[in-house]
């Protein structure tokens, strides 16, 4: 593992002993600020850093993008600490870095943005809704508000204007963001509860004054929650719905994790389980294309090469979406820089000089503005990347429901746990389309109608009210 104070400058065309295919006229250095060591629960540096090596390698060996420019890499471990990040950023600016990818998880700190001195700063891991709107800052990870706005669209579509929010401590920001979004349009929040008590107590305490639960948490906690509700016979009459917000990237091989514990080897086929499963909807990031597996393997290979030489992590075949965000952020930066160079030279019939290159490459607000104009941009995993006016990426989200597995679905029997014989799974049947309004448009697949738990859409409250006050 690399020392946080150690700084390396590497020409990526020389990685793994490969010589550049093309001799280019100019070199400029870009900075990378990952978390390798530290106290964060979700450090990504060890798993995804190879993505920046791979991106720069591809760019430096290309004749189509930046044909006269080689991008060199300077990197440092921020240890997920704001003061360390600020100090390292200052040092890297002084040493000549012209753009930065990161810092990981510290995007909301104004001082960090200020220290960049208008150099392009592109974050690959930052979900805070209140992040800086500095003109030299862009981010690839959608903010928490993007997914909560999608949840609001789903609730409004089914006329569920009253609901309860349950959340694990890690997702408190997301729960508060959803609450604020709901209050803005006069929706009613029956409860907002941190799940720091037993599920039995939480459900008993809320069930008489709600019918729709929105839960932010882990899939294992979701299964426990559904087990408790089933034990209390809340699914018997099809009156309750659970909307699970999966904040982790979607993994198409594990859709049964929303319904069955990982250590369970039997797929329940009882009517009770079917009604329970139909009482669940899952909002999650859209499924990447099949090519993501090859991409993930290449990232691991680059992780083990110079300059990182990290040990191969045990990812349990999981793919970190942050590797794609990091790779795409480099591609977007290079594309914006390439376009601006063309505008300055080809269109104006001028020759590119090192001074002109540095002037263009260090104008962060201009680089970021160009990045906005060249989106939508196809991600390395196939999804479409769109920036809003602040260069914050919009999300791509879908809704999963309990459906039979067949050839019309995007999933197949091979895509779920091979050791469990299930004829049904959680299948994507709806998605959200960006619109000019605050909330995206909820759009269903006409060939996959939703199967309600009791063949009728549950209401958000009983016809006579929760306490019979309307009768």
151 in the same domain as 137: no
Segment-wise mean pLDDT, segments of 10 residues, the chain, 471 residues: 38 38 84 88 85 96 93 94 88 93 75 74 79 82 89 97 96 93 95 95 97 95 96 95 89 78 76 93 83 83 90 60 92 96 84 93 95 89 83 88 70 49 85 83 91 93 90 85
For residue 40, give the CATH number of its domain: 3.40.50.2300
Residue 366 forms part of a structural domain = yes
Residue 453 forms part of a structural domain = no
Per-residue model confidence (pLDDT) at position 310: 86
Per-residue model confidence (pLDDT) at position 410: 46
Residue 71 forms part of a structural domain = yes
Per-residue model confidence (pLDDT) at position 17: 36
378 in the same domain as 283: no
Residue 224: give the domain boundaries: 145-287+395-444
338 in the same domain as 275: no
pTM of the model as a whole? 0.81
Burial of 423 (0-12, 13-18, 19+ CB in 10 A): exposed
318 in the same domain as 422: no
Residue 188 forms part of a structural domain = yes
Per-residue model confidence (pLDDT) at position 122: 93
Residue 456 forms part of a structural domain = no
Per-residue model confidence (pLDDT) at position 412: 44
Per-residue model confidence (pLDDT) at position 115: 63
Residue 110 forms part of a structural domain = yes
Per-residue model confidence (pLDDT) at position 320: 78
3-state secondary structure the chain: CCCCCCCEEEEHHHHHHCCCCCCCCEEEEEEECCCCCCCCCCCCHHHHCHHHHHHHHHHHCCCCCCCCEEEEEEECCCCCCHHHHHHHHHHHHHCCEEEEECCCCCCCCHHHHHHCCCCCEEECCCCCCCCCCCCCEEECCCCHHHHHHHHHHHHHHCCCCEEEEEECHHHHHHHHHHHHHHHHCCCEEEEEEECCCCHHHHHHHHHHHCCEEEEECCHHHHHHHHHHHHHCCCCCCCCCEEEEECCCCCCCCCHHHHCCCCCCCCCCCCHHHHHHHHCEEEEEECCCCCCHHHHHHHHHHHHCCCCCCCCCCCCCCCCCHHHHHHHHHHHHHHHHHHHHHHHHHCCCCCCCCHHHHHHHHCCHHHHHHHHHHCCCEECCCCCEECECCCCEECCCEEEEEEEECCCCCCCCHHHCCCCCCCCEEEEEEEEEECCCCCCCEEEECCCCCCCCCCCCCCCCCCCCCCCCCCC
Q: How many domains does the chain have?
A: 2
Among candidate residues 385, 404, 431, the one where a domain is terminated: 385
In contact, 221 and 171? CB cutoff 8 Å:
no
263 in the same domain as 150: yes
Per-residue model confidence (pLDDT) at position 268: 80
d(CA 199, CA 147): 25
């Amino acid at each position: 593992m690399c020392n946080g104070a150690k700084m390396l400058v590497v020409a990526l065309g020389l990685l793994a002993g490969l010589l550049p295919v093309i001799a280019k006229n100019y070199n400029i250095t870009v900075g990378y600020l990952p978390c390798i060591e530290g106290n964060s629960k979700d450090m990504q540096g060890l798993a995804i850093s190879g993505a920046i090596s791979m991106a720069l390698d591809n760019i430096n060996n290309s004749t189509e993008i930046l044909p006269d420019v080689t991008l060199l890499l300077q990197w440092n471990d921020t240890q997920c600490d704001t003061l360390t990040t600020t100090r390292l950023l200052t040092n890297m600016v002084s040493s000549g870095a012209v753009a930065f990818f990161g810092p990981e998880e510290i995007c909301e700190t104004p001082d960090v943005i200020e220290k960049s001195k208008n150099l392009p700063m592109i974050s690959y891991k930052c979900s805070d809704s209140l992040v800086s709107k500095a003109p030299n800052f862009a981010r690839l990870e959608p903010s928490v508000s993007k997914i909560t706005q999608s949840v609001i669209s789903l609730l409004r579509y089914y006329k569920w204007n009253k609901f309860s929010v349950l959340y694990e401590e890690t997702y408190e920001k997301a729960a508060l963001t959803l609450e604020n979004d709901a209050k803005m349009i006069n929706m009613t929040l029956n409860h907002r509860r941190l799940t720091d008590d037993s599920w039995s107590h939480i459900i008993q305490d809320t069930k008489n004054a709600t019918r729709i639960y929105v839960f932010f948490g882990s899939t294992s906690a979701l299964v426990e929650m559904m087990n408790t509700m089933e034990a209390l016979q809340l699914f018997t009459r099809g009156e309750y719905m659970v909307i699970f917000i999966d904040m982790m990237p979607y993994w198409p091989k594990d859709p049964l994790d929303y319904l069955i514990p990982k250590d369970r080897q039997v797929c329940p086929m009882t009517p009770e389980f079917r009604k329970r499963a139909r009482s669940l909807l899952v909002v999650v990031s859209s499924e990447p294309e099949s090519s993501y597996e090859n991409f993930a393997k290449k990232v691991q290979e680059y992780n083990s090469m110079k300059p990182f030489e990290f040990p191969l992590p045990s990812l349990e075949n999981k793919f970190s979406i942050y590797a794609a965000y990091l790779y795409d952020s480099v591609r977007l930066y290079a594309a914006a820089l390439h376009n601006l160079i063309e505008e300055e030279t080809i269109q104006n019939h001028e020759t590119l000089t090192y001074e002109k290159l540095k002037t263009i490459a260090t104008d962060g607000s201009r680089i970021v503005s160009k990045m906005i104009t060249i989106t939508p941009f196809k991600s390395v995993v196939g999804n479409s990347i769109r920036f809003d006016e602040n260069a914050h990426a919009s999300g791509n989200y879908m809704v999963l429901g309990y459906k039979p597995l067949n050839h019309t679905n995007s999933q197949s029997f091979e895509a779920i746990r091979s050791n469990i014989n299930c004829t049904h799974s959680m299948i994507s049947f709806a998605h959200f389309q960006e619109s000019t309004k605050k909330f995206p448009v909820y759009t269903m697949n006409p060939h996959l109608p939703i199967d309600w738990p009791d063949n009728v859409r549950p209401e958000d409250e009983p016809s006579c009210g929760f306490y019979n006050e309307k009768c």
